[in-house]
Structures are given as structure tokens and as C-alpha cells.
Amino acid sequence: MTKLSLPKQIAGLAGWLALAFGTAAVGAVASVRAVEFYQQLARPPWAPPAWLFGPVWSGLYLLMGIAAWLVWREAGFVRGRVALGLFLVQLGANALWSWLFFAWHLGFWACIEILVLWLLIACTLAAFWRIRALAGALLLPYLAWVTFATALAFATWRLNPAVLD
């Protein structure tokens, strides 16, 4: 573990959380009308209610930020560059999905992109786990939710061919 003062650790945690929640904000801009759009779509019977997505994603972004902070604290940017680089790339892919699905209504591309996101999360989780097992474990709920979201996105796309290209 790199030796960091308490103020640096707190600043680091704040930075990683800001980055994670900043990604949430980018996705939220694309999702301004997501609730209305989601309500208009034909959905599979197992689809959760629209109100559930906000709390779930808030918790997941919190876990992501903490996980990245643990890796940064343990390995720094030099030893942790691959793991933290993967983390940054998957954050970008995460934000892009909301734009593809909710803003641009590109169902096919959203389904392709969420598969890429899933793979990036799995790689990030593995890289985090090698540095600090707890950091990898904190990404397990994220991977599980995106697994579910992948099935939901595909089913919703297939049920709405006129709306989701």
C-alpha cells in the first residue's frame, strides 16, 4: 500500500466519488425524459418499475467510486494504471449507453454497447481483485446489475422495433 496522509486519502476518495457521480450526471443528461420514455415502451413482465433505477444506480456509483479509491490507495497510478485505466474506459462506456438508448433511441447499438460495457466491467473487476480483493468484490453488484440490464435492454429492444432502431 502506498503511504498517503489522511488528507490525501480523503481528497482521493472525494475525487474518485466525484468521477463516478460525474459519469452518472453525464448519463442523467441523456436520461432527462427516460421515465416517460420507459413507461411508453412495451417491456417484459419482469421489468422493474422506473423509480427503481435511480436508487440502484446511485448505490452502484458509490460502490464504483469506493472500489477505484481502494485500488488507487493500494497501488497508486503507476502500479494501478491498467486497472484504473480500465475503470475510466468502462465509466465512459457506462455513460454512452444512456445516450444510445434513451436520447438517441438506438436499441441495436445500445445492446451491442452494453455487451462491451459488461466485458469492460468484468475486466475491471478482475484487475481490481488482483490489486485489492475488496475493490473487486465491490464491483460484483455492478456486474450483476448490468447482466440483468443487458437482458432487459435486449428484451425491450425486441419488443419495440418501431421505437428503438
Each of the 165 residues of the chain gets a pLDDT tens digit; together they read 668 899 999 999 999 999 999 999 999 999 888 888 989 999 999 999 989 999 999 999 999 999 999 999 999 999 999 999 999 999 999 999 999 999 999 999 999 999 999 999 999 999 999 999 999 999 999 999 999 999 999 999 999 999 998
CATH number at residue 15: 1.20.1260.100
Q: What pTM was estimated for this model as a whole?
A: 0.95
> What confidence score (pLDDT) does residue 2 get?
63
Within-domain flag for 28: yes
Within-domain flag for 41: yes
Burial class (CB in 10 A: 0-12, 13-18, 19+), 53: middle
> What confidence score (pLDDT) does residue 1 get?
64
Q: How many structural domains are present in the chain?
A: 1
Within-domain flag for 1: no
Burial class (CB in 10 A: 0-12, 13-18, 19+), 122: middle
Residue-range definition of the domain harbouring residue 23: 6-159
Within-domain flag for 14: yes
Asked if residues 139 and 63 have their Cβ atoms less than 8 Å apart, the reply is yes
Residues of the chain by 3-state class (helix, strand, coil), percent to 5: 80, 0, 20
